Structure 1
Amino acid sequence: MNYILSDGPQRKALLPFTFTRPVAEIRIGILTIREKWEKYLQTKTSFKTEDYLSEKYPLVETDDNLVIVSSFLPNKSLADQVLSLKEKQAIYHQDRIVAYRTKNPEAEFNTSDFSRIEFEDDILTVDYTWDIFSKNGEALQADFDLITERRKSAPISGTNQVVCPENIFLEEGASVEFSILNATQGPIYIGKDAEIWEGGLIRGALALCEKAVVKMGAKIYGPTTVGPHGKVCGEISNSVIFGYSSKGHEGYLGNSVLGEWCNIGADSNNSNLKNNYAKVRLWNYDTEKFDHTGLQFCGLMMGDHSKTAINTMFNTGTVIGVNSNIYVPGFPRNFIPSFSWGGASGFRTYHTQKAFDTAKVMMARRGKEFDETEAKILQHVFDETAKWRSF
């Protein structure tokens, strides 16, 4: 059996994060959606995604394929039902296609070609960008239970003050010293070779992934995720930070999502609550308008490779595209297109060669290469998003 994770119809509503990755590579909880499915299925998967992403995220086809829509997060009962699918059967949940078995995975799904099976249990879904942080607590608990089942945590140093140690798990090589870990409200997971430096104030739920670092004196309360090789400090609340991104200094980040290779300058802050306590609207690339989130708390959505200077401020519900650089005093607009350079006083286009030069240096510092494949993806994003750069 060959398993394929498909972007499905939710991809556009998950931009800017899906400009540079398939839906399955979104991190929510501890693991990416792909990693969750691979753990439940006990096998590798491939991707059905946009053509320009397929060189980095290829599709593998065989004569017998099981296609899963990536916006559905797995649990045991769903995985079991997926594994039991027969040819030309499809699983639905509340009139939405979840998975189907086919000989031709590249063909568009046609309802009339498949017999329908209903999945009646609840499923956690990621349909909008704000789902990534607002559903992070539920996803983090599920991942914690999955990863730590029948396993024993590495020892927690006696220099720490710990509440609910049974909800704390350290992987091999994890280091935590002279910090307060309170797992009363949710689990605390410290990944392999991750570090919490002295003076960390941690209130779960928290996922600190492999080789991520919490610097001295940080105040983090969950549910928050810091992806692999991330570096954080200051005050962070209910946020998801993908891998290789840094918020390494003082400043507040709340109810937010940062992509990979982002950098938040010292003393930068975002608002996550409107002064009139109204529900927040957020830019939706699919509808090309500011949509109701239904949330009172909603902060910053920042695509890959975007950065801020020191003392940058963001209004409630701000969306920043890929490879933008924000600086100068004042509040910039609450939708900043990809490859923008500037701030409250105005923007100009951040041209690709300069953006690529920066990406090469930043990625090299973490032992990663900015190669031709990465350049092609970002060039496509630059071209696709030109219509929103009217400056």
Structure 2
Amino acid sequence: MAIILFDDNAHQALLPLTYTRPVADLRIGILTIAEKWAKHLNTEYSFKTQPYLQAKYPQVSGVDDLYINGSVCPDDNLLEAINNLKTGEALKQSEFLIAAKAPIDAEFEKVLSYDSFFISLRHPEDIFSKNDIELRKDFRLLTKGRSSAEISSTNTVLGNDFFAEEGATAECSTFNTNNGPIYLGANSSVWEGNNIRGAFALCHNSQIKMGGKIYGATTIGPFCRVGGEISNSVIWGYSSKGHEGFLGNSVLGEWCNIGADSNNSNLKNNYAEVKLWDYTTQRFRKTGLQFCGLIMADHAKCGINTMFNTGTVVGVGANVFGSGYPRNFVPDFAWGGAQGFETYSLKKMFETEALVYPRRDNRVFDEVEQDIVKEVFALTESFRSVF
């Protein structure tokens, strides 16, 4: 049996973060949703996603496959219910399809009802607002029955929920696990003088530069380099926020870069509810949150001293720079800032990405990656019509 993680309408609701990936490839906690299911069920996984993404994220079908909604995070009760599914059966909560032991475009022999609570990502802000819960679950999953590698005696560790994988290093830093666990991935590095409060995860091959201040619930994905002040944020991987400046209640995709001394606001001056741009309605949507910062999609970048207002969404491949606050929705492949935008041409963007990719794990911005970006460029053309 293999897992096939399928997209539902959350793929649209989670834009722009899902323009470049299936929903199950979103990182929340320490692992991606797909990695969580594979670890729990001890099996391989593939994706049933948008056609233009399938070359990078293929669907591999076998015998008696298990289809799982890619927006759903596993927990013990849900795992038990799914493990009890028989061939031809589906598991739903009301009309929401959670999983099926049958192709999801077929008629199910039997539909079982699931009434317990579970975490499902339905909007971009869910990623940081539910990150604390998933961090704790993933920490238990990854460390159960294992012993932490030793780190330097120059560090101070408060509490007991600290775990370092082999190859992780840290010097002259403070790790406070009294409010949540702290996880250091393989070959990660915490430079001197950092103060880190859990829940927190630094994934493999990532670094925190000197003098950082990091609050829970924060995840730094693989092959990242960060510094400055970060609070309740998720950075997926291959991205940099390497300098001073505040990032709070935010999500950064892959291949992003935050310029030195850039900041985002996560609280409005009047303490009002924050709204976020919604791609499905093409208007700003109430989040129900008082704290909500920056949502930045893959390949987006900003120059030094950039100021992002509360609840700003930056689309795929955007490049933001200049003085003043850019507007709260920066369309995909926009080039500019508060003084105005023009279209960031694919030719120029591809030249940049060809230089960026080898800096992280010797990756290559290959034809598969380029084809995805080309498709997203076409899909988002209407948002740039206002330039």
TM-score range, shorter chain: over 0.9
Unaligned runs of 5+ in 2: none
Structure-2-length-normalised TM-score: 0.98
Residue type of the alignment partner of 1:147: L
Pairwise CA distance, 1:284? 1.2
For 2:143, which of 127, 143, 148 is the aligned residue? 148
Spell out, residue by residue over 1:171-230, the C-alpha distance to the aligned partner (whole angstroms, 9 max, x if none): 001001100111111110000010110000101111000011000000000100000011
SS of aligned partner of 2:347: helix
CA contact (8 A) 1:40 1:75 kept: no
Partner of residue 326 from structure 2, selected from 329, 332, 337: 332
Q: Which residues of structure 1 form unaligned runs of 5+?
A: none
Task: Determine the C-alpha separation between the residues in 2 that align with 1:35 and 1:66.
Answer: 15
**Distance in 1 separating the partners of 2:138 and 2:114:** 21
Aligned residues: 385
CA contact (8 A) 1:88 1:101 kept: yes
Please state if 1:256 is matched with 2:250.
yes
Counterpart amino acid of 2:12? Answer: K
Hey, what's the Cα distance between the residues in 2 that align with 1:44 and 1:54? 16
Q: For 2:189 and 2:50, locate their aligned partners in 1 and report how far apart those are by CA, in whole Å.
A: 36
CA offsets 1:267-309 (integer angstroms, 9 cap, x no match):
0000000000001000111222111110000000000010000
Q: What is the Cα deviation at residue 94 of structure 1?
A: 4.1
Q: For residue 146 of structure 2, what is the amino acid of its counterpart?
A: R
Higher mean C-alpha displacement, 279-288 vs 366-375:
279-288
For residue 158 of structure 2, the aligned residue among 156, 160, 163 is 163
Distance of 2:11 and 2:167 partners within structure 1:
36
Partner of 2:60: 60
> What is the alpha-carbon distance in structure 2 between the residues aligned to residue 204 and residue 87 of structure 1?
42
- 2:86 is aligned to 86
Match of 2:8 in 1: 8
Question: Could you tell me whether the CA contact under 8 Å between 2:151 and 2:168 is conserved in 1?
Answer: no
Question: Matches of 1:270 and 1:73 in 2, distance apart?
Answer: 28
Deviation larger for 33-42 or 61-70:
61-70
Tell me the distance in 2 between the aligned counterparts of 1:204 and 1:378: 35
Q: Does 1:128 align with 2:123?
A: yes
Aligned residue for 2:41?
A: 41
Is the counterpart of residue 299 in structure 1 residue 277 in structure 2? no
Equivalent residue number for residue 220 of structure 2: 226
- The equivalent residue for 2:367 is 372
The match for 2:133 among 130, 138, 142 is 138
Write the letter of the residue equivalent to 2:140.
Answer: D
Name the TM-score, length of structure 1 as normaliser: 0.97
One-letter code aligned to 1:377: I
Measured after TM superposition, the shift of residue 84 of structure 1 is: 2.1
Establish whether residue 283 from structure 1 lines up as the match of residue 260 from structure 2.
no
> Once the two structures are aligned, what percentage of the paired residues are identical?
54
**Mapped partners of 2:383, 2:27: distance in 1:** 27
Matches within 5 A, 1:339-354: 339-354=333-348
* Partner SS, residue 258 of structure 2: coil
The corresponding residue for 1:267 is: 261
| Coordinate RMSD, CA, aligned | 1.1
SS at match of 2:348: helix
Residue identity matched to 1:39: K
Cα distance in 2 for partners of 1:185, 1:32 equals 23
User: What is the CA deviation profile of residues 1-39 of structure 1, one whole-angstrom value per residue up to 9, with x for unaligned ones?
Assistant: 232000112111111111001001100000000000001
Shift of the alpha carbon at 1:126?
1.0
Residue identity matched to 1:154:
A
- Structure 1 residue matching 2:99: 3-state secondary structure: strand
